[in-house]
């Protein structure tokens, strides 16, 4: 039986790489997108041209009705779901004293509520032997100024992940989170001075920024052979923090 994956935020830098990597691993992929259908169709086309199977579905990750419809669609098309990867997220930066509360609410809605809503459906529907993989961030450890609200949202993802892993007892479904460090994506580069980017590229002992395929490689491991890794936050950052 072909395994099936849902990847939320699959048009982003990391999300797209994850969707394409899982397809390369032989999984059928449902490419979730929030609003950019053109980019979602590009991901589907890339996968299908390489011999894989994929389709796209639009939904607001924080809307439980739309996410329920997404899971209904993957079951209708492919018979079920085995892997759910929550890459969807937003990052809005400012010192705590200056952050607009509407920005806090936006991050809460996508990063916390969105992860919760998708995880709720995943916990109900992922087949035996499957995996739920959330996205945290290394900034929960680094305590970088201006990242207060974003790091707090990812700290909530950590808590959800570790607890859900225990709630899935008896289902043979693993639940983990991946916590990237600085990774070369448009989301990371947006608004950052070149000096900050250069400093970040030297922070890891490997002296470079992470690449989306570095993160996708870990997702591939957690989605497939890594059955004894469960209830963990995996810091995928080249050694910036552990």
CATH code for position 59: 3.40.50.720
Range of the domain at 108: 4-183+212-236
Distances (CA, A) of 192 to 42, 184, 196: 27, 12, 6
156 in any annotated domain: yes
Q: Which residue has the tokens 């043979």?
A: 172
pLDDT 10s digits, 136-183: 999 999 988 999 999 999 999 999 999 999 999 999 999 999 999 888
Say how many C-beta atoms besides its own lie within 10 A of residue 124's C-beta: 9
194 in any annotated domain: no
193 in any annotated domain: no
207 in any annotated domain: no
Domains contained in the chain, number: 1
Given a contact cutoff of 8 angstroms between Cβ atoms, the answer to whether 109 and 64 are in contact is no
241 in any annotated domain: no
53 in any annotated domain: yes
203 in any annotated domain: no
| pTM of model > 0.85 | yes
205 in any annotated domain: no
pLDDT of 242 reads: 57
Q: Which residues are catalytic?
A: 150
Helices (H), the chain: 13-24, 37-49, 64-78, 101-107, 115-125, 139-142, 148-167, 186-189, 194-203, 212-223
122-130 average pLDDT score: 98
């Amino acid at each position: 039986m072909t395994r099936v994956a849902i990847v939320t935020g699959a048009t982003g830098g990391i999300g797209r790489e994850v969707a394409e990597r899982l397809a390369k691993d032989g999984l059928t992929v449902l490419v979730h997108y929030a609003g950019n259908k053109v980019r979602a169709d590009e991901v589907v086309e890339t996968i299908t041209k390489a011999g894989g199977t994929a389709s796209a579905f639009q939904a607001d990750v924080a809307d439980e009705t739309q996410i329920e419809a997404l899971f209904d669609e993957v079951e209708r098309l492919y018979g079920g779901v085995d892997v759910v990867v929550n890459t969807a997220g937003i990052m809005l930066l400012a010192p705590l004293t200056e952050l607009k509360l509407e920005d806090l609410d936006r991050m809460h809605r996508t990063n916390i509520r969105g992860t919760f809503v998708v995880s709720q459906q995943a916990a109900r529907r992922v087949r035996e032997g499957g995996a739920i993989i959330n996205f945290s961030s290394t900034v929960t450890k680094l305590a970088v100024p201006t990242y207060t609200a974003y790091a707090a949202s990812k700290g909530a993802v950590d808590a959800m992940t570790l607890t859900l892993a225990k709630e899935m007892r008896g289902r043979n479904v693993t639940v983990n989170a991946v916590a990237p460090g600085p990774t070369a994506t448009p989301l990371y580069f947006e608004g950052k001075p070149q000096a900050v980017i250069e400093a970040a590229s030297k922070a890891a002992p490997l002296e470079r920024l992470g690449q989306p395929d570095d993160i996708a490689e870990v997702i591939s491991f957690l989605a497939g052979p890594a059955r004894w890794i469960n209830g963990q936050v995996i810091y995928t950052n080249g050694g910036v923090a552990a």
